[in-house]
Chain A
Amino acid sequence: MWHRATWLFAGTLLLGAGVYSESSWQKIRPSVPEIGRKEIEPSLGQGVLLGILGGLRNIIADGTWIRSYVYWEKKDRAACEALMRTACALDPRSRYFWENTGCVIGYDMAHWEIRRRGGYNKVTREIQDEIFKKYARHGLTVFEEGVKYTGGSPSLLISAGQLSEIKLKDSLLAAEYYRRAAESRGAPWFAYFLCAKSYWEGGKKVEAYLWYRKQYIEKLLPMEDGSPDDLNHLRYFEEELNVPFLQRIPRQKWEKKI
Chain B
Amino acid sequence: MSATSAISVQGLTKDFRVGIRGLKLRAVDNLSLEIPRGQVFGLLGPNGCGKSTTLKIILGLVAPTSGKISILGYPSATSSARQRTGFLPEAPYFHKFLTGRELVRYCARLSGVAPSQLDSAVEEALALASMSEAGNRTIATYSKGMLQRIGFAQAIVHDPELVILDEPTAGVDPVGSAAIGKMIHSMRDKGKTVVLCSHLLGQVEQVCDRIAIMDRGRLVLEGRVDEVLARRDKHVITVEHLTPAAQAAAEAALQAQGAHVTSITHPRRSLEDLFRELVTGSRDA
A touching B, CB within 8 angstroms: no
